[in-house]
Structure 1
Amino acid sequence: MKEIAVLGSTGSIGTQTLDVIRSHPDLFHARVLCANKSVEKLLRQAEEFHPAAVVVCDEEAGREFKSLYTGPAEVIIGQEGLTEAALRDDVDLVLVAVVGIAGLAPTLAAIGAEKELALANKETLVAGGSLVLAEARKHHVLIRPVDSEHSAIFQCMLGQDRKHIHKLLLTASGGPFRGKTREELKKVTLADAMKHPTWNMGMKVTLDSATMFNKGLEVIEAHWLFNVDYDDIEVIVQPQSLIHSMVEYDDGSIMAQIGNPDMRLPIQFALTYPERLPSPSRQYVNWRDIASIIIEKPDLEVFRSLKMAYEAGKQGGTAGTAFNAANEEAIRAFIAGRISFLSIYDVVEETLSRFISREIHSYEDIMEADRLARALAESEIRRIAPC
C-alpha cells in the first residue's frame, strides 16, 4: 500500500488523483489531503478517504473546516502545512498539485526527505528549476511529471539514450482562441477564455491555456526536467489533444505518446511508475472516428507568451521566476476585471523588460525575485488599468 499526500486535493488534478486512488484501493491510500479553502469539498473527501491528516492553507477556511469536521484526522491550518505534509514519515509519495509558487517549498521538502515525487505544478520548475534539479540530483529523487505533455516526453524517453535526442516536440491544443487574430481578442471576456475545447482544468491553467502562457511555462519546465536546450524544444499545435508530445531522435525517428485527453492517464502513471495499470477511464482511442490528425504552427505574433518564455528561459537565473510571477499577477488582474485579455501579455512583457535577473543560490533568492517581479507587475497593472 502506497501512502500518498495529495497537495491540492480539491483542484482539478487533485480530484482526478483521488479518482485514481479510488480505482485502486488495494494499492493506494490518501494519507494526507491538502486544500486552500474549498471546505465543503474537503469535508466530503475526508469522509470518503479517511486520511491521517488534513491541511487547510487558508486560515479562515481552516477554522471553518475544524468546526465542521468530526473525524479523527489531524487538522493542520496554514500554508506551512503543505511542507509538513511532504515531510511526514507515514507518507511515501507526494503529489504536488497546488497552483503557483506555493508548490516550491513542499516540492523542495519532499525532495530533501527523499520521497517519491509526482509534480503537477509547473511553476515550481519555472521559478526555481536550477535549485530543484540540483536538490533532486543530490537526494537521488526522480521527478515524475504529471502534466500530460511532460508525462508524454518522459514516456517517449523510456529505454532510450538521452544523448541521442534531437528535439522535443511539445504539443499545444491551441486553447479556445486558436486561429484568432489580435483584433478578435480585444473584447475577450473571462467567460470566453474559460471555454477550453478539450480539457477540463482549473481556472488558472485554463486561462494560461487561452493565452498560451501555459505552453511557455511548459517549455521552461521541459528544459529543466529533460536537460534539453531551448533551441531543441519546439511547440506545435495539435488541437485534437490526441498526441500529447513527441521526441525526435538523431536518426530521424519520432516517438509519440498518444491517448485520449484524460488527465487520469498521466496521473496514474506517475503513481504506478514503472508499472502500468488499467485506467479509471477505461476508454481507448477510436481511430475509426478520426479522419485526420491536425498539426499546426503556433501564431507567435498573437500569442507573444511563447517568445517571452524562450527569452526568459535562455536568460536564466531568476528571469523564469519573474516570467511566472508577472503572469500570475496579470491573470489575477484579468479575473478581477482590472485589465483586458491582451493586457496580460503587456504586463508580463513590461515586467521582464524592467526586471534584473540574478543567479539562484537558495530558496530565499527565488522568493525575493518573486516578490520584486510581482511588485513590478502590479505597478504596470495600475498604470494601464482604467480609472
Structure 2
Amino acid sequence: MAAPTHTTPFASRKRIVLLGATGSIGESALRVIAAYPDRLELVGIAAGRNWQKLAQIAQRHPSVRHVAIHDEAAFRDARASAAFAAGTTVHAGLGGLCELAQIAEADLVLVAIVGTTALEPTLAAIAAGKTIALASKEILVLAGKFVMAAARARGVALLPVDSEHNALFQCLERGNPAGLKRIFLTASGGAFRDLPVEALAHVTPADALKHPNWAMGAKITVDSATLANKGLELIEAQWLFGLAPQQCQAVLHPQSIVHCLVEYADGSLLAQLCPPSMTFPIQHALLYPERAPGVEPTLDFAQTLSLDFRPIDLDRFPMLRLAHEVMRAGGDPCGSTGGGSTAPAIYNAANEVAVAAFLAGKLPFLAIAEVVDKTLQRLPHTEPRDLADVLATDAQARQIATDLAAKTAK
C-alpha cells in the first residue's frame, strides 16, 4: 500500500542525505520522505553494494544528485552501467560515504548503515555541522566518547532513530532530568523468547530470522534473539542521555508496543507507545520538532489491547549479562569515571563476527555468547586515548573472535 502524501505547511524544508538507503531502515525512511514532499527532500543516498536499488530510488527522487557506493566493485559496475542520470555525482568507498555526508546542500544526515562502517561518515557529517538522525547504534557503542564530544564541540543535534532511544528522547524531553531514577528499554525477546532452553542448542539461522513483531535485517534480527541488540541499545542510551550503568535496565515486552519506560524518583513512570514500525521514530526524527499525521495506522483503542512485561532471565540471555558488565567497565559518561572503555568495542566486534558465523551456518546459536565472552576476557579493557585506539581494539577483537569462532565451529 502506498503511503499517503501530506501537504501540511511547515516552517521550512529539510534536505536529507540517507546513508543506508537500501536496508529496512532506509525503506521506512523513504516512505516518510515520500509522504511529505513539501517538508522533506532527498538529496543524497548511499548503500553498500546494491547500486541497482539505489538507481531505482534515484529515479523516484529526481532531487537526488549525489550517490555513494561503499563496495568498490559495485561502484565500478554502477559506473559502467550508466544507471544514474546525467549530473549525478557517484562517490566511491568509505571516502565517498564521508563526502556524501558533507555535501553542502544537505541539512540532515540519516545514518542507517549497519555496523561500524558508519563511524567515519557520521564524524564527517558532524564536522560539517549537519544534524544527525542516528539509527546505527554501533558507532556509539564503538566510540561514544568521541562521537558525543565531537557533536558537543560542533553544536550538532543528535536525534535518535532507534525506536527505544527515540521513545526515551520523547519521554525525557517532557520530564525533569534531576528527578530521573532509571530507564527501561523494552525487548520483544526475539524469535526464541518462548522456546524451551534445551531447544536453543538446535535452532538454525532460518529459525532465528522469524521475528514475531519486526521486519528487520538479518544481523539485527539475530541480535534480537540473543538480546545482544538490547545490550547494544543500553550502551548507546548511556552515551545519548548521559546515564550511569545502574540507571539502564531492560524488560521483556512481547507486544513491542511500549518502547521505553522512564522512572522518576517519586515512583512515577512515563511510557511511549506506538505500533512496531520504524516509520514512527523515523518520522519523529526527520520532522522534529514538529509533528504530523503518520504514514501508518496508529493504535486502535476501540480494540482490546493487552500489554505484558516480564523480567529478563540473564542465564537464558547471557549477551545481556555481558552488556551490563561492559557498561560497568565503561563507567558513567557524566561522572568522574566517564572516560569510556574499550570493552563496548570488544563486545560489538566479537558479536558481529559471531553472528556472521552463525548466519553462515558455521557456529551454533549458543556459541555466539561464548565467543563474545572469551573475546572480552582476552583483551584488556582500557580507556581509549583517541579513535585510533578504538579502531585498533576493534580490529584485534575481530581477529580473536574469528579464531574462536573457527575453533568452536560446528
Scaled to the shorter chain, the TM-score interval is over 0.9
What corresponds to 1:29 in structure 2? 41
Q: Which amino acid aligns with 2:321?
A: K
Mapped contact 1:131–1:361 kept (Cα < 8 A): no
Aligned pair partner of 1:91 in 85, 99, 106 = 106
Aligned pair partner of 2:67 in 35, 46, 54 = 54
Q: Which amino acid aligns with 2:405?
A: I
**Structure 2 unaligned spans of 5+:** 1-12, 331-340
What corresponds to 1:135 in structure 2? 150
What corresponds to 1:301 in structure 2? 315
Per-residue deviation, 1:240: 0.6
**1:318-329 superposed matches below 5 A:** 318-329=342-353
What corresponds to 1:315 in structure 2? 329
Q: Which amino acid aligns with 1:333?
A: A
Alpha-carbon distance change, 291 to 98 in structure 1, aligned in 2, over 3 angstroms: closer
Q: Distance in 2 between matches of 1:169 and 1:326?
A: 25
SS of the counterpart of 2:234?
Answer: helix
Mapped contact 2:363–2:405 kept (Cα < 8 A): yes
Q: Distance in 2 between matches of 1:310 and 1:252?
A: 23
Q: Distance in 1 between matches of 2:157 and 2:384?
A: 21
Q: Which amino acid aligns with 2:134?
A: L
CA deviations 1:25-75 (Å, max 9, x no partner) are 111111110000112211110111121111011111111222221412111
Per-residue deviation, 1:296: 0.6
What corresponds to 2:4 in structure 1? none
2:301 pairs with 1:287:
yes
Per-residue deviation, 1:279: 0.9
SS of the counterpart of 1:186?
Answer: helix
Aligned pair partner of 2:406 in 372, 379, 382 = 382
What corresponds to 2:377 in structure 1? 353
Per-residue deviation, 1:365: 1.4
Q: Distance in 2 between matches of 1:149 and 1:159?
A: 16
Q: Distance in 2 between matches of 1:290 and 1:240?
A: 13
Percent identical pairs in the alignment equals: 43
What TM-score does the superposition give when structure 2 sets the normalisation length? 0.92
Per-residue deviation, 1:299: 1.8
What corresponds to 1:223 in structure 2? 238
Between 238-247 and 106-115, the greater mean CA deviation after superposition:
106-115
Q: Distance in 1 between matches of 2:293 and 2:228?
A: 33
Q: Which runs of 4+ in 1 moved over 4 A?
A: none
Q: Distance in 1 between matches of 2:137 and 2:124?
A: 16
Q: Distance in 1 between matches of 2:52 and 2:84?
A: 13
What corresponds to 1:196 in structure 2? 211
2:129 pairs with 1:114:
yes
2:207 pairs with 1:183:
no
2:53 pairs with 1:41:
yes
CA deviations 1:314-334 (Å, max 9, x no partner) are 112110000000000001111
CA deviations 1:85-121 (Å, max 9, x no partner) are 1111111101100000111111111112221110000
What TM-score does the superposition give when structure 1 sets the normalisation length? 0.97
Mapped contact 1:117–1:142 kept (Cα < 8 A): yes
